[in-house]
A and B are shown apart, each in its own frame.
Chain A
Amino acid sequence: MNWTKSFKTRPIGVIGIGSFGAAIANLLAEKNEVLVYARDEAVVEAINKTHRVKNRQLASKIRATTDPELLCEACEVMFPMIPSSAFREVMVQFAPFLHPYHFLIHGTKGLSLNLPEGKNLENISQLKRENICTMSEVILQETVVERIGCLAGPNLATELLEHQPGATVVASRYEEVVLEGQRLLRSDNFQVYGNSDIVGVELSGVLKNIIAIAAGALSGLGLGDNAKGLLVSRGMVELIHLGTAMGGCTKSFLGLAGIGDLVTTCNSTLSRNYTLGYRLAAGEKLPDIVADMEEVAEGINTVKLVKRYLESTGMRAPITENLYKVLFENFKVETALQYLMKYPSYTDIDFL
């Protein structure tokens, strides 16, 4: 079957069809033909035959393939929607078929390690900024694609799939990528903003997951809204502190991808990271929760990497540090909370 010819217009590619991938594929399918790449033959067959993937309904226009080469030939614009743990591997797999004319707009809110050969997180002495990559940096390292964008913002997949009103940010250093993203995604109840600080927007999405876990934990302890307000605001300060040190611009963190997403995920039981925190506070163990979740909570890996980064640079970030102890050192959430309350800090805002 020669698919490339069967499309009337150039289809838009979606790489990976998890919950967010499915939501974006549906949004894209409102105006375009969509071709999805999935690794699993059964998933591809299900999409092509029944237009369903894991109980999620997909638009009938959406078709799927397991062949990266076919996807790259058919599409000029593609949306990688894969967890950070598999992102690099998938890019390596796609790299031979990608060209500088491709646009890649990803929606992954996680970090990827980039270590010299023979090193791993245990035996490396210092974790520097160049060792922790955002997904756009991974794309730059592994492929020849230059025109890269990212999607970030309060985009809970479940709500998107229900066609509820919402908005997102498309960030790219290239105006043409932002415009293309807006053209493809904007609809009557979906607003799309542009931003040129791609690293800042990516980091907003990445770092807010840490605060989301902590927010879930507070709720799990049965604490009220005063505590939540405190955490969100302190979380914001920490996010900006870390984010600017890693190369983002303060303004981006105050936008939809920063504050917007932070407020959403810190209050929503639909968020995986929030749920993770909630269940931790209720006394469940991390491995049990992870085993039980359908998709990964990116926040876990982010906390791990950021904590090592903090140690290497001598920076402090109390929420991240204490959350690390809860996740990996069997600290009780209550104990961590006490540390936070005692943490000496006197100024409210010091980043503006």
Chain B
Amino acid sequence: MADDYIKHQYDPILPEKDEWPVVRLSKGRKAFIQQVVASSSEKIKSLTGNQVPALKEELELTLYRERMRIKQNPWLVDPDDEASFWSGVKSSLLSVGVDQKLTEDEKKERYLAILTGITQRYSEEIASNFKHSHYKMTRRIVTFGFSRLLNTARVKGFKSIFSNQYSLQDKIQIIGETDQLRDLASKGTIVMVPTHFSNLDSILIGWTISTLGLPPFIYGAGLNLFNIQIFAYFMNALGAYKVDRRKKNQIYLETLKTYSREAIQFGCHSLFFPGGTRSRSGNIESKLKLGLLSTAIEAQRANFQNNTENPGKVFIVPVTINYHFVLEAPGLIRDYLNHTGQERYYSESDEFSTSYRISKFLVKFFTKGSDISVSIGRAMDILGNYVDENGNSRDQHGRPIDCRDYFVSNGKVTVDLQREEEYTKKLGTRIVEEFHKINRVFSSHLVAFTAFRLIKRANSKLDLFSLLRVPEEDIHLSYETFKDACGEVLDGIRQLRAEGKLHMAPHLEMPLEEIIRHGLENVGMYHAKRPLIRTEQGHVVTEDISLLYYYHNRLDGYELDKII
């Protein structure tokens, strides 16, 4: 993968929208939902061992949790009939329970009917509402609107409003294996797995996909985002299906996974944020949520089972999104520090809470500096082997691998969930490895990393939390020390790049002084309190050490901390 970005006009790979899998899916939406309902009800049936008491317990537990959720954590997007639906479930459950005349078989039938009712509701809720006209509209708004803003800012003079000198691709640089991705999108089903730092990611990735001439991908977006109208519009237009993180019951989770698996089997390119939620610490994700990832593996196995002639292949494509500035950083890092060590879900109130704030940010983003780059990684098969230009898996010596063999025992493709669980873990590890390799280092990452390490070194007796509590006024670094340290870290980064372990933005080829100036200008540039600035006396100081820690974390995990 070259470091330079590719500014290029891409033709759509499937010009006719009727050929898009996502359009075919939305046309057959009803039938597809029925398939998801049947398939997920079947899954729950087998998970409860086809036993009436276990099934009953599962239903009761689900009911209990749902009623708690409605009471304790209601959202704007929740449909009005929720309470009535669940009291309906409650009375059906009760009536089966008390009816003495029912035989075991009749009881089971009734419980299964209730189960189907629930999966039906969940499937309808999850299913995306892709509309081609909205998609086209959104695409136009994004591309046109943003490039107007951009050109207004960069090209001087009256004519600037009509200038096309700069396009969005100058602002958001797409680098990496774009051609391979385009090739493979017509040879199999793509599952794209990007890092997740900001709520902006969804829109960015949607734009990237359409710029590359790919048909829209479907993806799971947190239901909370649909609370915000502007996002709801974009999401629906981009083929998002809804993921409700409040619902933790097994029936919901199975329905969600079934939806994703069936869509991949259908041939819909999909996108998961495998970290599950935005990275709170600013680190590149190192632990992935494996639930949705496992659906890619299940879909691949199902394709081998159902279609021996020409089984569709699933390709995993890691993507990193690289920022100088993450709007939500202050809130994210605060969450992270508050909850470190505790596995829990974060409350979803943050800087992106209103459409107004987002619009304000977007205007700022496009009229001022701060570039973003999207790195597309090499495509892999479901076990993390690289695939060649024809989509064939290759081992490290270039020998071809038949992916079907991974699911074979005694000569046949078999279903073994424990095996697939291990495969999912392995795939997760491979994705994290690739994230680190395709990650693109910016000047701002360099300065934030170096500054934080220097501060940490000067206070080596303090643990992290005490360090973050040191008053910012007490911290300053002399510019000379800072510059030398930056140079050392930069050498370390160059070394890593030579070993193929990461990538560097072209602006890191400038002389060191300029890199530092560029980095200080850009790091967290729109925050009210800047993570790093240079004072008039020439010192380097921080206004918010937690934020500095956040931006520093981007380079965590490369063992660069051995340098300083």
Contact = CB atoms under 8 A, between A and B. Distances in A.
B402 A173 contact: no
B20 interface: no
A174 B418 contact: yes
A56 B216 CA distance: 67
Contact of A174 (B403, B410, B422): B422
Contacts of B461: none
A99 interface: yes
Interface in B392-440: 395, 397, 399, 401-403, 405-406, 408-411, 416, 418-419, 422-423, 426
A176 interface: yes
Nearest to B393: A144
Contacts of A147: 419
Contact of A95 (B385, B397, B416): B397
Interface string A313-324: 000000000000
Given A101-B409, A176-B409, A144 B395 contact: yes
A146 interface: yes
Report which residue of A96, A100, A146 has the largest number of chain B beta carbons within 10 angstroms of its beta carbon.
A100
A96 B401 CA distance: 10
A327 B409 CA distance: 46
Contact of A146 (B383, B397, B399, B411): B383
A228 to B, nearest CB: 40
A137 interface: no
B402 A99 contact: yes
A100 B401 contact: yes
A101 B408 contact: yes
A197 B495 CA distance: 36
A345 B23 CA distance: 71
Interface in A142-200: 144, 146-147, 173-176
A100 B402 contact: yes
A76 interface: yes
Label chain A's interface by main secondary structure: loop
A175 B401 CA distance: 23
Contact of A175 (B385, B411, B419): B419
A125 to B, nearest CB: 13
Interface in B462-478: none
A100 B409 CA distance: 10
Contacts of B397: 95
Contacts of B423: 146
B323 to A, nearest CB: 31
Nearest to B409: A176
Contact of A76 (B383, B410, B418): B410
B405 A100 contact: yes
B419 A101 contact: no
A101 B418 contact: no
Given A95-B397, A144-B395, A146-B383, A100 B406 contact: yes
B408 to A, nearest CB: 4
A95 B401 CA distance: 12
Contacts of A173: 422
With most chain A CB atoms within 10 A of its CB, the pick from B402, B419, B426 is B419
A101 B422 CA distance: 15
A174 B418 CA distance: 7
Contacts of B395: 95, 144
A175 B418 CA distance: 7
Contacts of B399: 95-96, 144
A99 B416 CA distance: 18
Given A96-B399, A144-B395, A146-B383, A176 B405 contact: no
Contacts of A175: 416, 418-419
Indicate the member of B401, B402, B409 with the most A CB atoms within 10 Å: B409
Interface string B292-335: 00000000000000000000000000000000000000000000
Nearest to A92: B397
Given A76-B410, A99-B402, A101-B408, A176 B383 contact: no
Contacts of A174: 418-419, 422
B311 to A, nearest CB: 15
Contact of A144 (B401, B410, B422, B426): B401
Contacts of B383: 100, 146
A118 B419 CA distance: 37
A144 to B, nearest CB: 5
Contacts of B405: 99-101
A146 B399 CA distance: 16
A225 B402 CA distance: 57
Nearest to B406: A100
Interface string B347-382: 000000000000000000000000000000000000
Nearest to B403: A100
Contacts of A176: 409, 416, 418-419
Interface string A90-112: 00000110011100000000000
A169 to B, nearest CB: 18
Nearest to B401: A144
A101 B401 CA distance: 11
A173 B408 CA distance: 17
Nearest to B397: A95
A199 to B, nearest CB: 14
Contacts of B419: 147, 174-176
Which of the listed residues B383, B401, B411, B422 has the most CB atoms from chain A within 10 Å of its own CB?
Answer: B422
Contacts of A95: 395, 397, 399
Contacts of B416: 175-176
A156 to B, nearest CB: 32
B400 to A, nearest CB: 10
Contacts of B409: 76, 101, 176
A51 B410 CA distance: 29
A175 B411 CA distance: 18
Interface in B440-490: none
Contacts of B385: 144
A146 B411 CA distance: 16
A219 to B, nearest CB: 43
Nearest to B422: A173
Contacts of A146: 383, 406, 423, 426
Contacts of B410: 76
Interface in B122-176: none
Contacts of B418: 174-176
A11 to B, nearest CB: 14
Given A101-B409, A144-B401, A146-B383, 9 more contacts: A95-B397, A99-B401, A100-B403, A100-B406, A101-B406, A173-B422, A175-B418, A176-B409, A176-B419
24 contacts: A76-B410, A76-B411, A99-B401, A99-B402, A99-B405, A100-B383, A100-B401, A100-B402, A100-B408, A101-B405, A101-B409, A101-B411, A144-B395, A144-B399, A146-B383, A146-B423, A146-B426, A147-B419, A173-B422, A174-B419, A175-B419, A176-B409, A176-B416, A176-B418
Interface of B: 383, 385, 395, 397, 399, 401-403, 405-406, 408-411, 416, 418-419, 422-423, 426
Which are the 8 A-B pairs with shortest beta-carbon distances? A100-B405, A101-B408, A101-B405, A100-B406, A175-B418, A99-B405, A144-B395, A173-B422
